[in-house]
C-alpha cells in the first residue's frame, strides 16, 4: 500500500519543497530546517510514491536522495524531468557517494546541483537560497520572453528572421498570411523585390534604422507593396536579421486612386447642395473608395469636407452624408490641432518649393481625432493636394490597435524593469562583443554611474578596466571572484536567452554578492586547518550520533581513518568509553544540555586499550536546539603512568618525612620518660618531692604523646567525606556566628562579608567546618605579636567558582617557609603539630576544592579556598 506524503502545514502561498529520502532521520531533519526557513514541505520515503504523487504538486525545489531502495534518486530525477511541473524546477541531489561517476550520472539525469552527506545545515541553507534565487530570476526572464513572444505572435506586422546568407529561418503568423507557410528556407530575394540589392540594402538600413519600400510576392502570386525595416542580433557567433514588413496594400490603392482626379467625385457631384447627391456618383469609383481599409476624405480650400468614404465615416461614428459640408478641423482634438497647426503652416510655406523641385507634396503627422460621441482615437493623417484642383485629400490610418500593442509592450517592459530593479543582484544583458544593452539599478549603484554612461559600453571596460571584451572572458572562476576595484566577493551565473522569433538580446549575467558567505567559508577553513594541527583528537557528531568531522589526531588515536568515520555512528565505529556506565553517564549529561569531562578506558581499532581524557560539549543553535556534539580527547596513558610514578615517589618521600617527624616528635618525650624512670630506679633514697617531680614530668611527656596521637587520628578522620548538594551561604553564616564569640574572647576582631549568590555546592558539612576551623586557628596563632589582631572571612562567586578567603593582619609568611607549609609536621609555631594545613588541604581535595596561602604586599596572610558551584539545573 502506498504511504501518503507527509505534508507540513502552512500557508498555501508559501513556496513548496519536495523532499524524497528513505532515511527517516534525514527526512525529518530536512523538513524541520525548511519549515524554519518559511517553506511548505512534502516529504516521501521512496521514489515510486514520490513519482506517483508528483503530478499533483507544484514545487519550487526538489531534494532527492541518490541511494534509495526500489527506484534510486537518479532514476527518479530522470522521470520527474518529464513532468511539466518539474521541467524547470531546480533538483538538489543528496548523496553520501561523492565519486565522479555518481555526480556525472546525477547531472546527466537533470540534477541542478548536489550536496554531500552528512548534511551541514548552514551550507544547506545557502545552497537552497541560491538555487531558489536563480530559479526565480530565470522564471521571470522566461515569463518576460514569453510575453514578448506573444506580442510578436499577434503583431499586425509581418516579422521574419534571416540568417547571414539571407535565408528565411522563422516568421510570425502575419508573415505566413502575407507570404505563405512554405517560405522557410527560401532566399528573401525570391520573396522581396527592392530597387537595390538586399545584400547591400539590409546592412545599410539595419545600421541607420531607415524605412524603405519594397514589393513582396504574396501566397497567391500577386505583388504587394510593403514598408521594410531591419535590425540584427547575434546567436552565439552567428548573425541574424529581423525584418519587419508593414503591408501597404490598403494604402497604395487609395493613393493611386486619388492621384486620378477624373476617377474621384468632384465637389459639384459630391455635395447635395450642388444638385447631385451621393447616389448620382459613379458606382464603380464609389465602391472602390468604400472598400479601402483606410479612411479617405476630400476637402475644399476652406477645409470643408466634400467627400468621405465609408471606412472614415465608421471611424468617426456618423453617416457619410452628415459629414459633408462640415469643417475637418472639427474632428481634430484641441491638443492634436495645437501640435498639427505649426506643421501645417510649415508644409504650406514649403509647398511651392517642393512642387518646383518635383518632390512629392505630402504632410504626414500623428494626430488625435474625436468621434461623434466625444471619444478620442489616434491616427496617422496624410494630407496632399489634388493635382489640377484647389482641393485636398486626407488619408486616415487608425492607430488604435497599434497604440494598444505599444502600450502593452511598454507596460511589460516597465514590469520587467521594476522586477529586476527590485533585486539586490546585479543583472546585465550584453551582446556578443560584450556591449551592455540593459542593466538593473544594482549595476548602476555598483559602478556609480548613470544608465546613459553604462548602456553601449563593454562590460569588461566598466567592471575590469579592459579595453574591450565580455565580462564572461574576464571572470575565470565564476563561482567566487573579485572585481579589481572592489574587495568584495561575487558569484556570476550566465544564461543564454534563446533568440526565438527575433526576441532576445544575448548573454544575461546575474552577479550575486557572496562576501559574507565567502568570509564565513574562509573563517571556517582557517578554523578547520587550526583544528587539524592540534595534538588532541577532535571529532564532531550530529544530533543522531553520526560523525561529521574528525582531525588527523583522531586517526592516530583510534586507528580509524576519517573517510571511514564520517557519516557513521560512533557506536558502530566502537569509538568512546568501553564501560557502558560511562557511556550512559555521558548521554545523560548531553540529554540535559550539559557537557561532560573525565577519563575513561577506550579501545582502539586494533583491539588495544588506552586511558583517554575527554571533554564533550553540546552545541546549540539560536533556538536552543541541539545541533552538534564536539568531543576533544587525548591519550593520557603515559601521563597516568608518569603521575603514578611521581605519586609513588612523593608518597615515599612523604612517608620518610612523616616517619622521621614521628620518630622525632615521639622520641623526645619517650626519652624524657625513660630518663626520669631510670633516675627513679637508680637513685635511692629520693624525697617525696623529687619523686613527685619525676612522675609529673613523665605524665607531661605522656600527655604530649597523646596530643600527637589525637592529631594523627584527626588526619584520617574524614578519609571519605560524605558529599551532599546543599546551599553554602547558610553554612557559612552558622560558621561565622560560631567562631565570632570564641575569637572575641581571645581579643581577636572577626568580620565576615558573604555574597548572596553563592548557590549550591557538593560538600560534607563536618569536613568543611574542620578545614575552615584549621585555617582560622592557624590565623589566630599567627596574630600573637599583633596589638590589634583582626580576621576577615569573605566569600564571593565567579561564574561556577566560589572563592572563600580567610584574611588576617599578622606578619605573613616568610619566603623560606612557603614551599614547606603544606608538608606534614612542618610548623613554625612552638606548640604546633604541623598537621592543621595538611588536614585542611586533604579535606578540601575530597570535595573537589583547593586551598593555598598567599602574603599580599599590604601585609598579613590570606588563605584562599575554592569550591565548584553546581549548575542551576542540577539543584
Query: pLDDT, tens digit, for every residue of 236-273?
Result: 677 888 888 887 765 555 555 444 444 444 433 343 43
Query: pLDDT, tens digit, for every residue of 519-553?
Result: 888 888 888 888 888 888 999 988 888 888 888 88
Query: pLDDT, tens digit, for every residue of 33-44?
Result: 888 888 899 999
Nearest to 463 by CA among 476, 482, 491: 482
The number of angstroms, rounded, from the C-alpha of 541 to the middle of its chain's C-alpha atoms is 23
User: So what's the pLDDT on residue 358?
Assistant: 47
Residue 482 host element (H or E): none
Average pLDDT of span 283-290: 60
596: cell is: 561532560
Nearest to 344 by CA among 396, 309, 385, 294: 385
- Measure Cα distances from 697 to 110, 670, 693, 733 in Å: 106, 11, 6, 44
Residue holding cell 541607420?
Answer: 208
User: So what's the pLDDT on residue 828?
Assistant: 64
User: So what's the pLDDT on residue 268?
Assistant: 36
Q: Rounded CA gap, 170 and 193, in Å?
A: 19
Q: Helix, strand or coil for residue 318?
A: coil
Q: Rounded CA gap, 106 and 435, in Å?
A: 36
Helix pair angle (121-153, 400-421), 10° resolution: 170
Query: pLDDT, tens digit, for every residue of 413-442?
Result: 778 778 888 888 999 888 877 888 888 899
Let me know how long the chain is.
875
Position with higher pLDDT, 280 vs 788: 788
* Strand 16-20 relative to strand 61-65, pairing: parallel
Lowest model confidence (mean pLDDT) among 476-485, 580-589, 636-645, 831-840: 831-840
- Measure Cα distances from 855 to 793, 806, 809, 812, 863 in Å: 16, 12, 10, 6, 9
User: So what's the pLDDT on residue 432?
Assistant: 76
Nearest to 717 by CA among 830, 828, 623, 838: 838
Query: pLDDT, tens digit, for every residue of 169-207?
Result: 888 888 888 887 778 888 888 788 887 788 878 888 877
Q: Rounded CA gap, 607 and 603, in Å?
A: 6
Average pLDDT of span 392-409: 81
Residue 143: pLDDT band with limits 50, 70, 90: confident
CB neighbour class for 625 (10 Å; exposed up to 12, middle 13-18, buried from 19) = exposed
576: cell is: 568512546
Position with higher pLDDT, 455 vs 410: 455
The number of angstroms, rounded, from the C-alpha of 684 to the middle of its chain's C-alpha atoms is 107
Instruction: Kindly report the number of other CB atoms within 10 A of residue 704's CB atom.
Output: 16
Which residues fall within 8 angstroms of residue 608, CB to CB, at 6 or more apart?
A: none
Residue 815: pLDDT band with limits 50, 70, 90: confident
Residue 110, phi-psi category: left (phi > 0), alpha (psi -120 to 50), beta (remainder): left
Query: pLDDT, tens digit, for every residue of 439-489?
Result: 889 999 999 999 889 988 888 889 988 877 788 888 888 888 899 888 889
User: So what's the pLDDT on residue 500?
Assistant: 47
Torsion 780-784-786-787 (CA) sign = positive
Nearest to 335 by CA among 364, 398, 378, 301: 378
Adjacent-strand bridge partners of 291: none
Residue 648 host element (H or E): helix 637-682
603 in Cβ contact with 556 (< 8 Å): no
Q: Rounded CA gap, 392 and 305, in Å?
A: 9
User: So what's the pLDDT on residue 253?
Assistant: 55
Q: Rounded CA gap, 510 and 443, in Å?
A: 10
DSSP secondary structure, 564-629, as one string: HHBTSBHHHHT-SBSSHHHHHHHHHHHHTT--EEEEEEEE-TTS-EEEEEEEEEEEE-TTS-EEEE
Q: Rounded CA gap, 189 and 8, in Å?
A: 63
717: pLDDT strictly greater than 60? no
104: cell is: 556525472
Adjacent-strand bridge partners of 432: none
Backbone φ, ψ for residue 116 (5° rounding):
-75, 155
- Residue ranges of the alpha helices (H) in 448-514? 459-464, 471-474
User: So what's the pLDDT on residue 365?
Assistant: 79
DSSP 424: S
Rounded to the nearest 5 percent, the helix, strand and coil shares of the chain are: 45, 25, 30
Amino acid at each position: 500500500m502506498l504511504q501518503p506524503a507527509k505534508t507540513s502545514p502552512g500557508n498555501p502561498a508559501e513556496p513548496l519543497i519536495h523532499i524524497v529520502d528513505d532515511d527517516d532521520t534525514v527526512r525529518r531533519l530536512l523538513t524541520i530546517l525548511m519549515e524554519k526557513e518559511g517553506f511548505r514541505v512534502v516529504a516521501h520515503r521512496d521514489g515510486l510514491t514520490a513519482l506517483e504523487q508528483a503530478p499533483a504538486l507544484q514545487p519550487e525545489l526538489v531534494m532527492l536522495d541518490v541511494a534509495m531502495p526500489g527506484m534510486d534518486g537518479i532514476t527518479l530525477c530522470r522521470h520527474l524531468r518529464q513532468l511539466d511541473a518539474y521541467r524547470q524546477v531546480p533538483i538538489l541531489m543528496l548523496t553520501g557517494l561523492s565519486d565522479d561517476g555518481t555526480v556525472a550520472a546525477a547531472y546527466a539525469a537533470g540534477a541542478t546541483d548536489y550536496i554531500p552527506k552528512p548534511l551541514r545545515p548552514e551550507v544547506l541553507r545557502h545552497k537552497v537560497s541560491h538555487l531558489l534565487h536563480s530559479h526565480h530570476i530565470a522564471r521571470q526572464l522566461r515569463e518576460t520572453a514569453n510575453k514578448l513572444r506573444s506580442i510578436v505572435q499577434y503583431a499586425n506586422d509581418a516579422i521574419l528572421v534571416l540568417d547571414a546568407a539571407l535565408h528565411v529561418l522563422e516568421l510570425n503568423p502575419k508573415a505566413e498570411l502575407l507570404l505563405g507557410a512554405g517560405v522557410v528556407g527560401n532566399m528573401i530575394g525570391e520573396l522581396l523585390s527592392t530597387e537595390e540589392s538586399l545584400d547591400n540594402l539590409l546592412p545599410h538600413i539595419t545600421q541607420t534604422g531607415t524605412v524603405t519600400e519594397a514589393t513582396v510576392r504574396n501566397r497567391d502570386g500577386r505583388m504587394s507593396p510593403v514598408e521594410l525595416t531591419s535590425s540584427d542580433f547575434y546567436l552565439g557567433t552567428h548573425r541574424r536579421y529581423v525584418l519587419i514588413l508593414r503591408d501597404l496594400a490598403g494604402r497604395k490603392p487609395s493613393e493611386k486612386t486619388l492621384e486620378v482626379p477624373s476617377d474621384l467625385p468632384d465637389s459639384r457631384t459630391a455635395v447635395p447642395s450642388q444638385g447631385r447627391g451621393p447616389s448620382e456618383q459613379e458606382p464603380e469609383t464609389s465602391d472602390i473608395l468604400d472598400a479601402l481599409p483606410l479612411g479617405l476624405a476630400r476637402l475644399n480650400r476652406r477645409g470643408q469636407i466634400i467627400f468621405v468614404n465609408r471606412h472614415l465615416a465608421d471611424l468617426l461614428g456618423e453617416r457619410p452624408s452628415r459629414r459633408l459640408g462640415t469643417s475637418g478641423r472639427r474632428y481634430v482634438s484641441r491638443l492634436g490641432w495645437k501640435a498639427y497647426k505649426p506643421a501645417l503652416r510649415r508644409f504650406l510655406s514649403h509647398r511651392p518649393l517642393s512642387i518646383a523641385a518635383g518632390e512629392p507634396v505630402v504632410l504626414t503627422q500623428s494626430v488625435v481625432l474625436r468621434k461623434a460621441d466625444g471619444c478620442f482615437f489616434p491616427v496617422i493623417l496624410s494630407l496632399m493636394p489634388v493635382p489640377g484642383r484647389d482641393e485636398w485629400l486626407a488619408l486616415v490610418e487608425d492607430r488604435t490597435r497599434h497604440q494598444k500593442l505599444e502600450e502593452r509592450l511598454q507596460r511589460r517592459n516597465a514590469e520587467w524593469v521594476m522586477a529586476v530593479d527590485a533585486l539586490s543582484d546585479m543583472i546585465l544583458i550584453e551582446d556578443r562583443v560584450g556591449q551592455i544593452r540593459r542593466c538593473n539599478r544594482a549595476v548602476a549603484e555598483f559602478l556609480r554611474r548613470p544608465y546613459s554612461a553604462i548602456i553601449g559600453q563593454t562590460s569588461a571596460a566598466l567592471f575590469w578596466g579592459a579595453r574591450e571584451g565580455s565580462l564572461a572572458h574576464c571572470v575565470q572562476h565564476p563561482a567566487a571572484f573579485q572585481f579589481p576595484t572592489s574587495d568584495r566577493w561575487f558569484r556570476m551565473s550566465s544564461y543564454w536567452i534563446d533568440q526565438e522569433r527575433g526576441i532576445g538580446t544575448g548573454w544575461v549575467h546575474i552577479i550575486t554578492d557572496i562576501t559574507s558567505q565567502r568570509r564565513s567559508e574562509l573563517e571556517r577553513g582557517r578554523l578547520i586547518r587550526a583544528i587539524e594541527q592540534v595534538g588532541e583528537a577532535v571529532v564532531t557528531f550530529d544530533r543522531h550520533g553520526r560523525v561529521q568531522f574528525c582531525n588527523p589526531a583522531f586517526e592516530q588515536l583510534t586507528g580509524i581513518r576519517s573517510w571511514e568515520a564520517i557519516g557513521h555512528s560512533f557506536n558502530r565505529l566502537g569509538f568512546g568509553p568501553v564501560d557502558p556506565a560511562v557511556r550512559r553517564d555521558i548521554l545523560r549529561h548531553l540529554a540535559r544540555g550539559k557537557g561532560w569531562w573525565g577519563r575513561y578506558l577506550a579501545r582502539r581499532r586494533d583491539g588495544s586499550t588506552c586511558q583517554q581524557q575527554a571533554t564533550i560539549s553540546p552545541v546549540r543553535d539560536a533556538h536552543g536546539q541541539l545541533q552538534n556534539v564536539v568531543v576533544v580527547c587525548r591519550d593520557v596513558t603515559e601521563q597516568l603512568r608518569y603521575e603514578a610514578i611521581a605519586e609513588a615517589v612523593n608518597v615515599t618521600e612523604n612517608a620518610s618525612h612523616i616517619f622521621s617527624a614521628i620518630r622525632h616528635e615521639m622520641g623526645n618525650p619517650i626519652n624524657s620518660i625513660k630518663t626520669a624512670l631510670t633516675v627513679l630506679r637508680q637513685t635511692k633514697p629520693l624525697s617525696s618531692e623529687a619523686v613527685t617531680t619525676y612522675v609529673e614530668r613523665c605524665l607531661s611527656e605522656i600527655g604530649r604523646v597523646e596530643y600527637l596521637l589525637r592529631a594523627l587520628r584527626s588526619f584520617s578522620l574524614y578519609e571519605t567525606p560524605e558529599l551532599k548538594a546543599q546551599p553554602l551561604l547558610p553554612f557559612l553564616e552558622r560558621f561565622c556566628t560560631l567562631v565570632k564569640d570564641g575569637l572575641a574572647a581571645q581579643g581577636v576582631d572577626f568580620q565576615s562579608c558573604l555574597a548572596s549568590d553563592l548557590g549550591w555546592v557538593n560538600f560534607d558539612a563536618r569536613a568543611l567546618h574542620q578545614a575552615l576551623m584549621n585555617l582560622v586557628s592557624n590565623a589566630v596563632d599567627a596574630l600573637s605579636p599583633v596589638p590589634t589582631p583582626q580576621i576577615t572571612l569573605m566569600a564571593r562567586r565567579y561564574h561556577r567558582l566560589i572563592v572563600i578567603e580567610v584574611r588576617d593582619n599578622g606578619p605573613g609568611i616568610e619566603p623560606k617557609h612557603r614551599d614547606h607549609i603544606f608538608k606534614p609536621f612542618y610548623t613554625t609555631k612552638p606548640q604546633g603539630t604541623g598537621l592543621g594545613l595538611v588536614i585542611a588541604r586533604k579535606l578540601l581535595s575530597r570535595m573537589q576544592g583547593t586551598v593555598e596561602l598567599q602574603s599580599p604586599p599590604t601585609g598579613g596572610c590570606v588563605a584562599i579556598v575554592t569550591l565548584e558551584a553546581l549548575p542551576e539545573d542540577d539543584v
